[in-house]
Amino acid sequence: MNVFYFIIQQTMYFAIPLLIVALGGMYSERSGIVNIALEGIMVIGAFAGIFFINMAQAGRIANLHGNTLLLAAIFVAGVAGGLFSLLHAFAAVNMKADQTISGTALNMFAPAFVIFSARTFQRVQQIPFNDEFHINNVPVLSKIPCLGHMFFENCYITTYIGILIFIFAAFIIQYTRFGLRLRSCGEHPGAADSVGVNIYIIRYLGVIISGILAGIGGLVFVVPTSTNFNASVAGYGFLALAVLIFGQWRSRNIFFAAFFFGIMKTLASAYSIIPVIKNLSVPNEVYKMIPYIATLIVLAFSSGNSQAPKAEGIPYDQGDR
């Protein structure tokens, strides 16, 4: 049973960042902007957040400790991600650039920038930090039988933040005026424009929200799984893109897709602990490949009636209306 709890706890570490970033991608793509820059934005967000934690722990800025420090770092990561995503928004919305190319440029820029800055500031590439955020037991809640072991032991505050983000994000896009406008910009911007929605502003907001969430996601990925940041989020941005498509751009499906991918990642990284799987003697690379292969298969079967936003990737030009 302990193994089972362990798997659930590990899955949280992997699934929550995927969930947050994929939700970010949802906001951008449903406003009509393809955002393959998620990976790069995650790197920037993680860099800003971890650098902030590193400085604070060295006592150079902000006298914060424990989970207050983590919350502040999450804020920093979100701001950094949002600012970085402005570059993509500017290219995609104002300059009507090819969104894939601009996203690729951002993806290439981010790790190079991070390594360069880290080496300029502190001469080494890795940015270390002390993991003072780990929660052994949540008081009271961890006493709940079964569920307490699964969700309230060996956890991080980021797990609950991720769930909160999911609830907010799902609610806003589905039930608010802003959400409706955002979705209409992705489906038929001409129609939305004709009733007075400012496409450019909405698309800017979509990209910025995706930047904020991807920045947070980057930090949330690094904190539980590592003790230093080495200019990489291990392809999670692209995996989040796969989650987004696997979830067909709908928040509830994204939730399930994120947990499916999270479990696969956990099996790949912790397969030696799980007796049943260890006996199967399947190389762990197979588990790493499964999410991507599954996405390809789902794409092959769902692209006939794909739920993708109709105007996705097409720059909006008011003159074409």
Partner 1 sequence: MKRALKNKGAKKKSIFENENTVNFISSVMAVICGLLFGFIILFISSPSQAYGGFSMIIQGGFADGISGIGRMLYIAAPIIMTGLSVGFAFKTGLFNIGASGQFTAGAFAAVFVGVKCNFLPSGMHCIAALFAAMAAGALWGSVPGLLKAFFNVNEVISSIMMNYIGMYGVNMLIRRYVYDRIKNQSMPVKSAANLSKAGLDKIFPGSNINVGILIAAVSVIAVHIILHKTVFGYELKACGKNKDASRYAGINEKKNIVLSMVIAGMLSGLGGALLYLSDSGKYMQVLDIIAPEGFLGISVALLGLSEPLGIFLSGLFIGHITVGGSNMQLFDFAPEAIDMIIAAIVYCGALSLLFKEIINRFYKRSLKKTKTKQEDKEKL
- For binding to partner 1 (CB under 8 A), which residues are involved? 34, 36, 87, 91, 95-98, 100-102, 104-109, 111-113, 115-117, 119-120, 232, 234-235, 238-239, 241-242, 245, 283, 285-286, 288-289, 292-293, 295-296, 299-301, 303-304
Q: Which is nearer to partner 1, 81 or 162 (CB)?
A: 81
The 10 Å CB-count burial string (b at 16+, else e) for 259-278 is bbbbbbbbbbbbbeebeeee
Using CA atoms, how far residue 127 sits from 31, 120, 142, 231, 234, in Å, is 35, 12, 33, 9, 16
Q: Which is nearer to partner 1, 40 or 162 (CB)?
A: 40
- CA–CA gap between residue 242 and residue 18 (Å, rounded): 10
Q: From start to end of 78-220, where are the E strands? A: 127-128, 135-137, 153-155
Q: Which is nearer to partner 1, 109 or 160 (CB)?
A: 109
Least distance CB 248 / partner 1 (angstroms): 13
Q: Is the dihedral of CA 156, 64, 50, 165 positive or negative?
A: positive
Least distance CB 253 / partner 1 (angstroms): 16
Q: Which is nearer to partner 1, 193 or 312 (CB)?
A: 312
Q: Which is nearer to partner 1, 108 or 141 (CB)?
A: 108
* Among 36, 173, 23, CA closest to 91: 36
Least distance CB 274 / partner 1 (angstroms): 19
Q: Which is nearer to partner 1, 113 or 256 (CB)?
A: 113
The 10 Å CB-count burial string (b at 16+, else e) for 230-248 is bbbbeebbbbbbbbbbbbb
> One-letter amino acid identity for 219?
L
CA angle 14, 16, 19 (to 5 degrees): 110
Least distance CB 69 / partner 1 (angstroms): 27
Least distance CB 115 / partner 1 (angstroms): 4
Least distance CB 283 / partner 1 (angstroms): 5
Q: Which is nearer to partner 1, 124 or 147 (CB)?
A: 124
Q: Which is nearer to partner 1, 104 or 126 (CB)?
A: 104
Least distance CB 234 / partner 1 (angstroms): 6
> One-letter amino acid identity for 165?
I
Contact (Cβ atoms closer than 8 angstroms) between residue 268 and residue 289? no
Least distance CB 146 / partner 1 (angstroms): 34
* Among 9, 151, 141, 161, CA closest to 72: 161
- CA–CA gap between residue 304 and residue 57 (Å, rounded): 52
Q: Is the dihedral of CA 56, 49, 168, 262 positive or negative?
A: negative
